Amino acid sequence: MLSNFGITFLSITFLTSFLLIYLSFNELKTANNKIPKKIYNFSSLQLIFTILSFLTLLAGFVVSDFSMSNVFENSHSTKPLLYKISGTWGSHEGSLLLWINILVLFSFLFLFYSNNNNKKFQLYTIIFQNFLIGTFLIFLLFNSNPFSLLFPVPNEGLGLNPILQDPALAIHPPLLYIGFVGSSIYFSAALAALISKVETKLFARVIKPWVSLSWFFQTLGILVGSVWAYYELGWGGFWFWDPVENSSLMPWLLMTALFHSVLVLERRLGLYSWVIILSILTFTMSVVGTFLVRSGILNSVHTFANDPSRGLFILTFLILMVFSSIFIFFKYSTTEKNTFKFLSKEFFILINNWFMVFFLLVVLIGTMYPIFLDTLFGTKISVGPPYYNFVLAPFLIPLLFLMTSGPKFNWISSESKKIFDLVFFISLFIFLAILFIVKEKNLIVNLTLIFSIYLTIQSLNDFYKAFKNKSINLSRVISHFGFGLLIFFISINHILSIEKNFNLKVGDEKNLSKFLIKFENIESYKIDNYQTIIGDFQILNKKNLIKKNLKPEIRIYDQPKTMTYEASIDSNFFSDTYLTMSNVSDSELFNIKLQIKPFMNFIWLSVFILSLGGVLNIFKRIKKV
């Protein structure tokens, strides 16, 4: 019964997409500058039926309707309610339905909140957006239908991947998808702007809040996913350059470059073509990330089940989308003069943009190179932190310097400003005090510390000035402050982190230079749908004689049969003591990994502060409207 409702709702959604395209094309031929009410009505209907289809699937998970193959493959009657709900988007089919819901939601919001703009521009945006919606609906209905039926109906489901049964993973995908899929609306708007020849400053003002919104949710999604990976996967850090992690970072880099470029386009001519290209590329990289996750070509804890037909569809769609965008761009784009005065604010923004593009290329090559190597030559390699740290770290230093110096200059004018001022020398003094304590000898790390401190102190100075000078962009100040803190605490974390690997039996102890680790006991329990083996460890810090009790786990899940390793983390304000254990085959030994991770909470807080800048920018826009 639920399955029939779901398919019906999706079919009506597809029909409304077709009608919106048809009506919008017809309306382009009329002379008046007002969009008819029927287009608004169909957009509302489209949103209603899309949400109903998602709620139908959600109901199937809540009531454990195993007649639907998607519920059978990703749920179990004994699962807690929270994970039944999150199971709705914990699979390829369910997440694709969520993806379509967000596509429709942004189409609806754009139509209703941009009703004072150029009519042709609005209609073409709705047309392109509904081409995307219709294409993904075809993919969903014919290849990845979440409502497909099973017969005979199973009595029980297979269960959700245990590592996805986590509160952070209940909210991580929706946050990330709003960022990913939200970029579709300015992709559609960019193509519409080219065809309708919309005025450049109007285009910048229209897409700016959508870029801010998607950037904010993308940042929060990355943050939540990073926190989840830290305590769930046993990696013990904030970022590991996993290919699927990279697929979320690549659009974020382009969103960041795009938002800064829009600031320039709002104020003067120039960068119009660049903003169009970035708008197209951002959604393109979102689709690339979708292809990587769903095609089965990546080996990652984040990827969905392998199905070559899914990858082929997304790859075909990606190729068509890229070539169509290139065709429209070259057919309708016009030449423009990009003459920026040296050392003007827009000059610094443009240089920062090129840094973002460079970072994107480095991450893209590091992600795709192993795939091509495996496909062409059958050679399997992994590209990890050493590559990214070696290539990216030196270029982070000038980026920090430009982020600090650029805002000091004026728009358009190249009036001379002091770069190395009192704030710089205060920052240098703070760095020397820190260097005296940590005694770091690596030049790149030290330079990163200097300029991250410089950006942080300069942002605090700008924050103070913002209360007197209303022209100072507070959202920029907060985001730059968060970024400066983030790089500073990452650097300190890199310098002070400790990691030790060793094997122990129950009753053994390990004497390290600063710590004494005792493996006191081991216990086993049956909890809900898994068996847990809990280790009892005493860790003594010899320096300050602080004793900590940590209890890492090995969990063996029934549905599906899976073994996971749960970290035990003793977290205080300044540092985390992080312990994992795993069984060594055919022996009484357990492999133990001890990590001391300073300032982890400050790293998470820094990203949150960084994202707040995007929120302020959105509220600022709403207030103006």
Dump the DSSP string for 159-220. Answer: ---GGG-SHHHHHHHHHHHHHHHHHHHHHHHHHHHHHHT--HHHHHHHHHHHHHHHHHHHHH
CA–CA separation, 228 and 250 (whole Å): 20
Q: Contact 581/552 with Cβ under 8 angstroms?
A: yes
Whether the full predicted model's pTM is greater than 0.85, yes or no, is: yes
What backbone torsions phi and psi does residue 541 show, to the nearest 5 degrees? -85, 110
What backbone torsions phi and psi does residue 91 show, to the nearest 5 degrees? -125, 170
Q: What is the three-class DSSP state of 403?
A: helix
**CB hemisphere CA count around 435 (13 angstroms):** 17
What is the total residue count of the chain? 625
Q: What is the three-class DSSP state of 580?
A: strand
- What's the pLDDT at 178? 94
Number of Cβ atoms within 10 Å of the Cβ of 254? 26
Can you spell out the DSSP letters for 498-530?
EEEEEEE-TT-EEE-SSEEEEEEEEEEEEETTE
Q: Contact 362/391 with Cβ under 8 angstroms?
A: yes
Going from N- to C-terminal start, the domains of the chain cover 1-165, 184-419, 498-600
- What's the pLDDT at 623? 47
Q: Contact 492/442 with Cβ under 8 angstroms?
A: no
Contacts of 265 (CB under 8 A, 6+ apart): 200, 201, 203, 204, 271, 272, 275
Name the β-bridge partners of 556.
Answer: 531, 563
- What's the pLDDT at 547? 83
**CB hemisphere CA count around 394 (13 angstroms):** 5
Contacts of 294 (CB under 8 A, 6+ apart): 92, 303, 304, 307, 310, 311, 314
Kindly list the averaged pLDDT for each block of 10 residues, start to end, along the chain of length 625.
92 97 93 88 97 96 92 85 86 91 96 81 96 95 91 83 74 90 96 93 92 94 90 80 89 95 83 93 91 66 59 87 94 76 81 94 91 77 87 95 87 65 91 92 94 96 83 87 97 93 92 91 84 92 83 83 86 90 85 93 95 78 48
Could you tell me the two tokens for 256?
Answer: 């960041």
CA–CA separation, 205 and 143 (whole Å): 38
In order of 171, 219, 558, the CA distances from 532 in angstroms are 25, 34, 11
